[in-house]
């Protein structure tokens, strides 16, 4: 059977994109775009992102609403509708009303909803500041140790081991009064009821004991990155150490840093609540989620909403940030879907 030219032309495969309506244009996607595409396919991570954004909006808006008088955290409420009597103390307790969705505090009459909203702002501010400082210190020391090697790496490694050997909770309790007094002596402002200096103490101590895991993580990443060709090229071109650290190495560390930051945030929110229970940190009447929850402990049975409102806020913040961190880790790791 002979093949003619017309047969060959009729049996030829059409070029890609011709005859089937498809386009031959191939769009290139950046690594960030690819990570976002993987992230948004995870419905649970997207839900966690939405809840996290909601908490951030609440944290930003609450001080503004307090300034405008919409939220009132300090002045006792005059609304006593729906009062019930505490059988143990004989004092009136106010349950939820339209004006006070979470009710009011026993004895003081302060609006619980307003205090929880502003408490979320202060707790998230402490957690955010502490997480940023922790990541900053850990990243700088991890890059220096991993790239320099030798004696510098050994010194940083022993410093990490020494820091991890201290019981952080015990140190927080033992140093609280001494360090806060010294901070006041050097002129650090107290703020209302000592809130600023106590909050600063929590941030500094959390960062002091929180940076070693970050430094270890970054050091391991840098040990691999320093062998790359672009780092060798920068060294041969005579680039300074600072340029190599912050221009060549640091941009390739943002993925693990982002994941670790999202996991530090809920840990520090929980730490602030635990420290308030141990009477370390910001004291009443300045509200935080921790001290509002601590103040509600005697009223768990008589007025459960007073206890569960800040408890649910803390739980929701911790779970949403943890899920966000897990989703970010899976999205930023191209091998996670295999």
Bridge partner residues of 83 (DSSP):
94
Domain contains 286: yes
pLDDT digits (tens, 9 = 90+) for 259-300: 889 889 989 998 888 888 887 878 888 889 888 888 888 888
Say if 84 falls within a structural domain: no
Specify whether the CB–CB gap between 51 and 103 falls below 8 A: no
Q: Global pTM? A: 0.81
Residue 277 inside a domain? The answer is yes
* Residue 9 within a domain: no
CA distances from 128 to 122, 166, 269, 286 (A): 10, 23, 9, 18
**Cα separations in angstroms, 281 against 15, 122, 126, 196, 287:** 71, 12, 11, 10, 11
User: Helices (DSSP H) in 69-149: which residue ranges?
Assistant: 112-148
Q: By residue range, what is the domain housing residue 142? A: 48-73+90-332
- Residue pair 99/79 in contact (Cβ under 8 Å)? The answer is yes
CATH number of the domain encompassing residue 275: 1.10.3720.10
In angstroms, what CA-CA distances link 13 with 3, 72, 181, 224?
A: 16, 75, 83, 47
Classify residue 259: in a domain, yes or no.
Answer: yes
In sequence order, the β-bridge partners of residue 101 are none
Asked if the structure places residue 203 within a domain, the reply is yes
pLDDT given for residue 25 in this prediction: 53
Of 165, 179, 271, 259, nearest to 221 by C-alpha is: 259
Do the domain assignments include residue 19?
Answer: no
The tens-digit pLDDT sequence of the chain (338 residues) is 444 545 544 455 555 455 455 555 556 777 777 878 888 888 898 999 999 999 999 999 999 998 888 888 776 655 444 444 444 444 555 567 777 788 888 777 788 888 999 999 999 999 999 999 999 999 999 999 888 888 888 999 899 988 888 877 777 777 887 888 888 878 787 777 778 888 888 898 889 888 999 999 999 888 888 888 888 888 888 888 888 888 888 888 888 888 889 889 989 998 888 888 887 878 888 889 888 888 888 888 878 888 888 899 899 999 999 898 888 888 877 565 44
* Pairing of the two strands 83-85 and 92-94: antiparallel
The total number of structural domains that make up the chain: 1
């Amino acid at each position: 059977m002979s093949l003619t030219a017309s047969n060959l032309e009729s049996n030829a495969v059409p070029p890609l994109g011709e005859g089937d309506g498809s386009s031959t244009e191939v769009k290139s996607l950046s690594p960030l775009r690819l990570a976002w595409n993987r992230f948004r396919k995870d419905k649970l991570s997207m839900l966690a992102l939405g809840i996290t954004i909601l908490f951030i909006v609440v944290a930003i808006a609450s001080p503004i609403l307090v300034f405008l008088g919409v939220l009132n955290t300090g002045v006792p409420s005059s609304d006593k509708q729906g009062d019930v009597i505490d059988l143990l103390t004989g004092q009136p307790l106010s349950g939820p009303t339209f004006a006070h969705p979470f009710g009011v505090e026993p004895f003081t009459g302060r609006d619980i909803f307003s205090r929880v909203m502003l408490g979320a702002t202060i707790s998230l501010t402490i957690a955010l500041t502490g997480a940023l400082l922790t990541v900053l210190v850990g990243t700088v020391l991890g890059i220096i140790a991993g790239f320099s090697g030798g004696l510098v790496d050994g010194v940083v490694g022993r410093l990490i081991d020494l820091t991890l050997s201290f019981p952080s909770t015990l140190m927080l309790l033992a140093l609280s009064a001494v360090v806060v007094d010294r901070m006041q002596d050097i002129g650090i402002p107290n703020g209302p009821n000592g809130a600023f200096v106590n909050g600063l103490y929590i941030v500094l101590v959390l960062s002091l004991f929180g940076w070693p895991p970050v430094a270890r993580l970054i050091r391991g990443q840098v040990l691999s990155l320093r062998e790359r060709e672009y780092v060798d090229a920068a060294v041969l071109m005579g680039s300074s150490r600072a340029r190599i650290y912050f221009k060549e190495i640091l941009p390739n560390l943002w993925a693990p840093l982002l994941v670790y930051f999202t996991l530090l945030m809920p840990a520090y929110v929980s730490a602030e609540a635990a420290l308030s229970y141990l009477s370390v940190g910001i004291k009443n009447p300045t509200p935080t989620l921790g001290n509002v929850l601590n103040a509600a402990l005697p009223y768990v049975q008589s007025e459960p909403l007073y206890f569960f409102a800040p408890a649910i806020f803390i739980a929701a913040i911790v779970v949403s940030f943890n899920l966000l961190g897990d989703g970010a880790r899976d999205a930023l790791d191209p091998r996670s879907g295999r």
